Structures are given as C-alpha cells and as structure tokens.
Amino acid sequence: MDCTFPLRSATQRSLQPARWKNAHGVGSHHSEHSLSPGGSGHQHSRLEPLECRDLLVQNALFTGDLDMVQKYFTKGSAINLIIETRGDVLRWTSSKRGLWSLSYEQELTTPLHITASRGHTGCLRLLLQRGAAPDLAPGGRTALHAGGGAARAACARLLLRAGADPEALSEDGYRPLHLCRSADSIECVRQLLQYGASVNSQTEEENDTALHVASRLGLVEHVQLLLHHGAELEVKNKEGQTPLNAACAQHHQPQDMDRYYRVCQLLVESGASINAADREQQRPLHLACKNANAQIAELLLARGANVNVMNYGGSTALHNILQVAAYKLEHHPELVVRALLNHGAVRVWPGSLLKVLQSCHSCPRAIEALVNSYSHVRVSEDWEAAVPAEVVQKYPCFYQSLFSLGHSPRSLQHLARCALRTLLEGRLQLVLSQLHLPRALHQFLLLGFEDVLY
C-alpha cells in the first residue's frame, strides 16, 4: 500500500518515491500500513516512523510556517517522521571500507523536536493534536530535552501537558532538567518540577544533579528554585564534588564573579558543607582560590573554612592563589592573598619568597600583602634580577621600595603591626571587629594596600 505523505499540488509533484521511507530504510511504497487521509493520527503515532527527505516539509518546520505545516500534516497523514539534519560542525567518519573522511555532523530529529527547539508553539500544538508521539527520540533525546535545552518554556509546557515524560533519559544519560543550562530556561525548570521531574536525579556518566549543573554554570535563580524544591546539598558527582565544590571549581570571567558568589552564598546559607572534599581532597576554598574569587573566599573563611588544610598535592589555599595570580590579574588575586593571611594562613617559607616573586611579579599587591606579613625579609640582589625591567618601570615606587629593604630595616609602625598580628594570630578578625579603631588603622592592621613598602 502507498505510504507516501499526502501533499498537495506542486509539493506532490516535487516528491520522488524514495523521498519518504521508513526509519529502517524500506521505501515508503513497501510499508504494510496505510497512511492515507482516512487513517487516524493516533494510530500513526504507534506505527514505525517514516523518514522525511523533503526539503519543503523540513523548511516549513524549521521556519514555523503554520499554514504550510497544516497543509502537510493533515489528520490522516504520518506525524512521527524521522528527519536527518546536517549541522555546521565537521567531524571524521569512517566508511564500511575503512576509509576516513571529513563530513558534516548529522542528527536524527522529528517535527516535534524541530518545532519545540525553535519555539514554534503553533506548529507544535498542531502536531500534538494530530497525534505526534511526545517521547519519540530517534536521535537519542526527546522533544522535551530539545525544548528545555533551548529554553522554550511554552513548548515544554505543551509537551508536558501532552504526556511527555519529565524524567525521560536521553541516550547520553541526561534528563530534561539537566539540559536547562541557561538563565532563560528558568521557566522550563519550573514546568518540569511542576510535572513531576525529580529534583535529585543524576546524570548517568557524571552523576551530576540539576543542582550541580546550575551551580557550575552560576545560575542563581535555578539554584534558588531547586533548593526550594528540596535539592540535596551533599550529593557527590563522579569527581566527588558537591554542588558547592562544583560552583567554586568552575572557571569564570571577572564579570561573572558576583553571580558565582551569590550561588555559593545560597548554598552556604542553606547548609552546604564548607569543607567538603572531592576526590583530589580539594575543598571549596582551594577551588575558589584557583579561580581567584575573593568574595567566595571571604564567604567561606567567614563561615569557618579550614584555611591551612592541604589537598592531595600538598597545596593549601594560599599556594593555589599564588600559583594562578599572574594569570588572573583582572580577578584581583591580591584580595584573596590578603584575605587568607588575615584568616591565619600559614605563610610561605621565607626561603621560597624569591620563587613567589619570580611567578607573581606582575601582581605587586600580592607581593606587598605577603611581604607585609613578615617582620623581616632578606632581600638580595637576586630579587632585583627576578623582576623584568618592564615590570619595574610599570610599578617603580613599589619595586624600588621592595629592593631597598635589602639595606634598610622595616619601619617601627610595620614592626608594631607584625607584633600585634602575631599576638592575635587566629583571632585577628574577631578582635578587630570588637575594637573601635580608626578606619585607617583598622585597614593597616589588615594589610591594606599602599603600593609601597616601609
């Protein structure tokens, strides 16, 4: 019987018999099922899907041309079609003869996937009314995965109302909730949770929960919503990371530092463990220091994070920030160095200060905070050789004052600061907060930056 898709006039004349075939490659005219106008759309949703190669039909779906979609997808037509799309990404593929060639990445999709991912709600509603199967996943993901991933809230709502599974597992181990990865997808998250998506389900490969994903991406509203729906704070993924670890570990640009801070603030205020260690024994403070986020470091320290605990590599949080300071200048790593020292971080062994200078000379304020945490520092000619001439020219006052320490003692004011800091070691922040000191003196005791050494 004829399985060609019922089309009209010019479109019908443009089609060839092989343009429509079932998903396993059998020509449409060989199918045993009638897809004539007299059939039922719901009946077709249970039949083996056909493959669509007609560009006119595909163009109507991709552009959201509702009039054309209505003409092509009549009540008795095949609805559950398989469409093979070609992307812009080239990848290596092998042929049966063992030859490798570069070809464009191809993907199997359906009319539902196309309309849901592009936000064509009118077309999507029509397809669902005509009996399209909401959970069909020829490419490994359902239309709900596609709609949620593209932040199409209205489309996600239509699919869920039509019975789409909010817990559908994709071929690569993701549920729709795991693919809501943009700030605009917050309404999709809300819809999924309303229709029964499990807030704590994990991805199959990474063992990430939706809270891991949202925290890693710095999605403040997502984190807030997931926590409101009972997201667990201490679930660990394959790397041993809790959501707080994941947020602290994610590299981010200076303009994103504030939203990552707000994510961490939400997690901490909800009871997340401050000292949770991942598989490498990296704590949130270690990870925040690697990313030079002073706000997060201050938050963790204020909540009692262990400032001197080591990871498997033997590095403390101070080691981590000094290792990345030269590459994170726009993040102001000196603020992290100062915060750690003010919370009792064990200082660098004086004999290693030259190595620190060699790696951190482009961040003089980090050097300033570190050097000001010692009462005496032995500065030799090697220190001058460690700083490139162009850096000295950029920060002349600071480096001239640093090099002059090789032949002159520190000021009495500085020595008094060191004596008081030593006396209050481990209690500095607590005691200073209770003393009514002038602001200038308060900042001086907390290693405020002056861009010169005395």
pLDDT of residue 28: 34
Confirm whether 146 is domain-assigned.
Answer: no
pLDDT of residue 407: 86
Confirm whether 209 is domain-assigned.
Answer: no
Confirm whether 420 is domain-assigned.
Answer: yes
Confirm whether 58 is domain-assigned.
Answer: yes
Q: Cβ distance 337 to 321 under 8 Å? A: yes
CB within 8 Å of 332: residues ≥ 6 apart: 292, 294
The residue whose two tokens read 């029509």 is 126
Confirm whether 418 is domain-assigned.
Answer: yes
Domain housing 53: 1-87+106-133
Q: Tell me the C-alpha distance between 418 and 412, whole Å.
A: 10
Q: Count of CB atoms within 10 A of residue 327's CB?
A: 13
pLDDT of residue 93: 58
* pLDDT averaged over every residue in the chain: 87
pLDDT of residue 75: 83
Q: Tell me the C-alpha distance between 405 and 391, whole Å.
A: 18
Confirm whether 233 is domain-assigned.
Answer: no
Confirm whether 431 is domain-assigned.
Answer: yes
What average pLDDT values come out for the chain (454 residues) when binned by 10 residues? 38 36 35 32 50 90 95 86 74 61 72 96 96 93 96 97 97 96 97 97 97 98 98 97 98 97 98 97 98 98 96 96 97 98 94 95 97 94 96 97 92 96 90 91 96 95
pLDDT of residue 79: 87
Confirm whether 165 is domain-assigned.
Answer: no
**Of the candidates 74, 98, 133, which is a domain's last residue?**
133
The residue whose two tokens read 């997690």 is 267
Domains in the chain, number: 2
pLDDT of residue 418: 96
pLDDT of residue 42: 40
pLDDT of residue 102: 63
Q: Rounded to 5 degrees, what are φ and ψ at 137?
A: -140, 70
| Helix H or strand E encompassing 225 | helix 220-228
pLDDT of residue 78: 82
Strand order from edge to edge, sheet including 50-52: 20-22, 50-52, 81-94, 100-109
